[in-house]
Amino acid sequence: MSWRSELLSWLKELTSIPGPSGREDQVREVVTRLIKPNVDKLWVDTLGNLVGLKRGSTGEGRLMIAAHMDEIGLFVSHIEDDGYLRVLPIGGLPERALIYQRVVLRTRDGRLVRGVIGLKPPHVAKPEELQKVPEMRELFVDIGASSREEVEKAGVRVGDVLVFDREIAEMLGDRVTGKAFDDRVGLVAMIKAAQMIASPKVDVYFVATVQEEVGLKGARTSAFAISPDAAIAIDVTIASDVPGVSKAEWYTRLGKGPAIKIADGRGATGLIAHPKIVEALINVAEKYKVPYQLEVAAGGTTDASIIALNEEGVPAGTVSVPTRYIHSPVEVLDLNDVYNTALLVEYFAEEVTPEWLREVKGRVIK
Ligand SMILES: [Zn+2]
């Protein structure tokens, strides 16, 4: 199978599954099946992170590679007497991405319930209401029920979760559109890297993390358990190469290769990637002719920012797949960027030696 059809089929399968923060179980099952042949040990921890270990030839040094399984979604917070559902967001879900969208809910007994996010008809709305995006508390989900009893009979209860109901679609060239590319595409790149890494010198821990979208929680606990000497997160990043954005704000562009992060977020919540990790990623990209872009992002962050603060600190960086319209049901990416992300991570992991890890971690001065 060509890398293109392999990556596309994994992305298709992984994005077809609902897995908002805290409900990653189905995603974990698929990642388990796909990564299992290429790791020596595989386990699930208390919070639900999936950890795969590929042993290094020297028996020394630990490199952690993380990609998150969860996606943004909605909690059912209230059921109306007339059958409508009220919702609250899981992760950063802008209201304007929700209007008139189809959503899907998986009940406790595994039934799929489909719905739409409706809105007051424009004909009865005041002119000023038509000008603004409604607030979360004004939104409702219509699952076709006429009463609370019908909702309950369908197996839906408060606390159930909804995600966008959207299938992946191929566009022109190697571009695809769909939901939850953030961060199922990171998982795809990580699984591909695990398959390609032949004989690493250090132990490589592949971690499919939980609850990234609600505060990098799985990365925190898994880093504590692994105690890595260095770490890389694989995630999506903002491709703002669209009309209406000045070129000075085109942080990354589609099809120009993985983004090597210099910095993201703002102050306390972001990451300033460790300079030695950045340097090593650039060297590897140049050596093996993998296209790449350097990125200073205006916002957002990844698992790397919390792994960097584990114990006495971990040299950490991020490799990202440029993606347009992040946290919407119509995210767009280029499959070449996905493959090149996997290649960059593969080459980096193969180059890491125990000596280099010791050197990066710090030194005695006197
Ligand atoms: Zn993400």
Q: Express each pLDDT in 198-217 by its tens digit.
A: 999 999 999 999 999 999 99
Please report the pLDDT score of residue 124 as a whole number: 79
The answer to whether residue 121 scores a pLDDT higher than 90 is no
- The long-range contacts involving 241-248, CB below 8 angstroms and separated by at least 24 positions, are 241/324, 242/324
- Ligand 1 centroid vs 71 CA: distance in angstroms? 8
- Ligand 1 centroid vs 301 CA: distance in angstroms? 8
Whether 212 sits among the annotated catalytic residues: the reply is yes
- Ligand 1 centroid vs 219 CA: distance in angstroms? 12
Q: Express each pLDDT in 271-286 by its tens digit.
A: 999 999 999 999 999 9
Query: Sorting pLDDT into bands at 50, 70 and 90, what band is 298?
Result: confident
Helix (H) or strand (E) holding 93: none
Q: What is the largest CA-CA distance in the chain?
A: 77
User: Are the C-beta atoms of residues 252 and 237 closer than 8 Å to each other?
Assistant: yes
User: DSSP of 122-148, one letter per residue?
Assistant: GGGS-HHHHHSPPPGGG-EEE-S-SSH
Q: Express each pLDDT in 36-58 by its tens digit.
A: 999 999 999 999 999 999 999 99
- Ligand 1 centroid vs 363 CA: distance in angstroms? 33
- Ligand 1 centroid vs 234 CA: distance in angstroms? 8
pTM check: above 0.85: yes
Residue 353 per-residue DSSP state: -
Q: Please report, for the chain, how many H helices and E strands are present, in that order.
A: 10, 17
The string over 56-65, giving b where at least 16 C-beta atoms fall within 10 Å of a residue's C-beta and e elsewhere, is beeeebbbbb
Q: 27: helix, coil or strand?
A: helix
24, 71, 212, 350: the active-site residue: 212
| CB within 8 Å of 106: residues ≥ 6 apart | 18, 26, 112, 113, 160, 161
Range 139-163 average pLDDT: 97
- Ligand 1 centroid vs 91 CA: distance in angstroms? 10
Q: 270: helix, coil or strand?
A: coil
Give the rounded distance of the alpha carbon of 319 from its chain centre: 12
- Ligand 1 centroid vs 203 CA: distance in angstroms? 25
